[in-house]
Each structure stands twice: as C-alpha cells, then as structure tokens.
Amino acid sequence: MKDEERQSAELACEKIVKQFAVFNDLGELEKLAALFVEDGSFARPLDPENPTIGRAEILAMLQARPPRLSRHIMSNIVIDVLGPDEATGISYVTFLSTTDVDAARPVAAEPKIFVGEYRDNFVRTADGWRLKSRKGNMTLIFG
Amino acid sequence: MKDEERQSAELACEKIVKQFAVFNDLGELEKLAALFVEDGSFARPLDPENPTIGRAEILAMLQARPPRLSRHIMSNIVIDVLGPDEATGISYVTFLSTTDVDAARPVAAEPKIFVGEYRDNFVRTADGWRLKSRKGNMTLIFG
Amino acid sequence: MKDEERQSAELACEKIVKQFAVFNDLGELEKLAALFVEDGSFARPLDPENPTIGRAEILAMLQARPPRLSRHIMSNIVIDVLGPDEATGISYVTFLSTTDVDAARPVAAEPKIFVGEYRDNFVRTADGWRLKSRKGNMTLIFG
C-alpha cells in the first residue's frame, strides 16, 4: 500500500474509535451500532469475556442499559493497517459517569475514574471502514 | 468532495482544536485569537450563554482573565465536513488548573477536574480553515 | 511543501507520539527505542534535566526501571513541520500508575495523577520519521 492510502485508512479507523465514544455518550446508539459490520462483535470493558455478537444485538444490549450520563475519553488511538481492507487498533479509554442523568450540568461524577483500552479489528466494506470486533478491558482505577 | 479532500479538511480543523488548547495553556493568546475569523464567536465552557463576538474582543476577554495555570486536555475530536468550505466539530475537554502560577512545577492542581465539550463551526478562508464559532459546556465534575 | 505532504508528516510524527506511550505502557521497550534515531535523546518528565542519549542507552535505562503498571494518556498532539525532513511537536501526557503490577485488573492506581507535556524534535530518515529528541516536563499534580 502507498503511504497516503495507509494514512487515509488509519484516519478512517481512528474516526470510528472517536465516533463510538461520542455516539455512546450522546445516546446516539443507532449511529454507534452502524459503526459495526452486520456480524460485528463487542465486548464491553467492564465485562470483557462476554461479547455481544451482531449489530442488532449490540444495539439492543446498549439500549437495555440503565440510564447513565457518561464520558468515554479516548486517547492513544494507534491503528495498524494490515492490508487494503483490514486493520487493527488499540485505544485508551478514560471513563467517568453518573446515574444522576437529570441534574443540572455540570453534574458530580461518581468518585472513580476507570482507565482501560479497546482492541479493535476493522474491515473495509463497500460502505467504508467498519468495526469487525471490539474488545474492551479496564486496567486502572483512580479514586 | 473526494475522500482525501475531506480528510485533509478534518485534519486542519482538528489541529485548530488542539492549538486552541495549547495556545490557551501556554498564554499565546494572540495566536489563539488568530484561529478565529474576524467576526468569530466564543462562548466559554463555564459561561456558555455569554458568547464573546469578534477576534479582538475574544483576545481582550482572554487577556483580562486573572492569572491561572491551566491544562485543557482535548480528546474525541470528531470533525464533520459539510462542504468544501464548511465544517462542524465536537471535542471533549478535561480541565485542571491552579491559581498558583508561580510555584515550582509540578504544582498541585485544584481538587476538581471538569469534563465538558466544545461544539465548533469552521469555515475555510483565503488563509485556511478558521473557527467561525465555538461554544463550550461543562458536563461532569470529578473531585 | 504541499499541504498533503505536510499533513502526512504530521500524521507520521503524531503516530510516533502515540506509539511511544503505548509501547511504554505495554512493556514493548525495544519497539519504543526504535522510535528514536541512533543518537536520539530522551529526558523523562519526572527528571527533565538528565537526558539519556543514544538508542541503546535509552533502552537500557527503560529496562532498568522497577516494574510499574502505567498508562501514559496522550493528548493535544500538535506537530509543526519545519521542512521536508524536520518537525517539532508538543503533546500532553496524563500519567497514572501503580507498582502493584501483578494484581487482577483493574488495579487501584496511586492516588496522584500527573499532567505534563513532551516537547519533541523529529527528523525524517531513510526508514521514515524518527524522534531526534524528546524532553518531558510535569506541570500539574491532581490528588
């Protein structure tokens, strides 16, 4: 692959990583689910051994969560392009949240910050790059 | 627009978001003001309903703040290009600071971390991409 | 330089900044050392006045550290390309860690978060962009 093709793929996958977090935090869950391929797999950072498989199943799982005001702060997004249609990535997530979703902003967050990472596989489809699988893990807790 | 033009515009706007924070924290306020168009608008995250309008007015407002050692930690910068000369963006800001600006580094930060976001509008001018308007909000407080 | 060449160089250097942190946190220290040129220089954020010079010396210094589970959370990576083969950069680092490396994850981090920055010089070699020198500083402590 040429450098510009590789960097373009990296940017596309990095955008997916950032959109995933923003869509999650803003409650735009159908947009989030659309980042996956139809048979995509997602294992949440706080439950890494129980992946949910299938775009519709991921959407249903996310919609079934109790209300929570969250911020998934993403960083260190490193994408490695394996070929024209395949890439992997790691990214760090710093997570703060509260169940107090109706309070005036800014709201006090729960007194723990979680720091973890996602490990992703991406594929290029006719509609562009999509998540094939995402697995989260939590590593450190502050507070 | 072609993919490479869209990604190039995204990178240019993303750089503005990062430069805004760095210029702010390093006290390079004229460079910060130059990121806006002449009639740009800026509403600070802790005072979102009172935008300052005009590049010179933004500079004067920022210069009038009492001294503060701050770090605006930016993440989740997602830019959506609307056309060749127009884009919008969201980004997360994690804010720590102290008024103890003269102490030896590292300095103890105030015991609250603010997590919020900026919503931006960008336009492409003859001199490149610039901020047309920026509105901040704070969402969560930790500590 | 053309815009696309400049942005491509910025992306290459930004990737080095992110890889440095990930390789450090995952213990992939040979990969980390390979991000430097042969005579590269690295001054750690908590000891900025004592740079280690030389790729092999940097590797040895990093390998000699006592075990620590760390996360270097990188943000605000702003690269300025000075010419086809030279660039500088600033980036923010938010650092959490623990010496309790063998505990089940997630592990409680030490009760202080450090926020600092790296200032980097990059050069383009026959093998691509590399770090010529990196100097860290810590600015704020939370907790």
- The tens digit of pLDDT for each residue in B25-56 reads 999 999 999 999 999 999 998 888 999 999 99
Work out the average pLDDT over B92-104: 97
Q: What is the pLDDT of residue B46?
A: 83
Token pair listed for B45? 């995250």
Q: What is the pLDDT of residue C130?
A: 98
Is B138 in the A-facing interface, judged by CB distances under 8 Å? Answer: yes
State how far residue C131 is from chain B, nearest Cα, in angstroms: 21
Q: How confident is the model at residue A46 (pLDDT cuts 50, 70, 90)?
A: confident
Query: Could you say which DSSP state residue C76 is in?
Result: E
Q: How confident is the model at residue B61 (pLDDT cuts 50, 70, 90)?
A: very high
Inter-chain contact B106–C141, Cβ cutoff 8 Å?
Answer: yes
Contact C129, C16 (CB under 8 A): yes
Q: What is the pLDDT of residue C35?
A: 98
Q: How confident is the model at residue A82 (pLDDT cuts 50, 70, 90)?
A: very high
Q: What is the pLDDT of residue C27?
A: 97
pLDDT digits (tens, 9 = 90+) for A88-123: 999 999 999 999 999 999 999 999 999 999 999 999
d(CA C97, CA A139): 10
Average pLDDT value for chain A: 97
Q: Is the pTM higher than 0.95?
A: yes
Q: What is the pLDDT of residue C125?
A: 98
Work out the average pLDDT over A27-56: 96
Is A92 in the C-facing interface, judged by CB distances under 8 Å? Answer: yes
Inter-chain CB pairs, B–C, below 8 Å: 61
Query: Which ipTM score applies to this complex?
Result: 0.97
> Helices B3-26 and A3-26: crossing angle, nearest 10°?
70
Inter-chain contact C71–A11, Cβ cutoff 8 Å?
Answer: no
d(CA A2, CA A10): 12
Contact C96, A142 (CB under 8 A): yes
Q: What is the pLDDT of residue C47?
A: 86
Q: CB atoms < 10 A from the CB of C16, how many? A: 22
Fold of A3-142: Nuclear Transport Factor 2; Chain: A, (3.10.450)
Q: Please list, in sequence order, all residues whose beta carbon lies within 8 angstroms of the beta carbon of residue B54, skipping any fewer than 6 positions away.
A: B38, B39, B40
State how far residue B73 is from chain A, nearest Cα, in angstroms: 10
Q: What is the pLDDT of residue A20?
A: 98
Work out the average pLDDT over B56-80: 97
Work out the average pLDDT over C110-127: 98
Pairing of strands C36-43, B128-142: unpaired
Is C112 in the B-facing interface, judged by CB distances under 8 Å? Answer: no
Q: How confident is the model at residue C46 (pLDDT cuts 50, 70, 90)?
A: confident
Is B90 in the C-facing interface, judged by CB distances under 8 Å? Answer: no
Q: What is the pLDDT of residue C63?
A: 97
Inter-chain contact C140–B97, Cβ cutoff 8 Å?
Answer: yes
Q: How confident is the model at residue A47 (pLDDT cuts 50, 70, 90)?
A: confident
State how far residue C78 is from chain B, nearest Cα, in angstroms: 7
Residue spans of the domains in chain C: they are 3-142
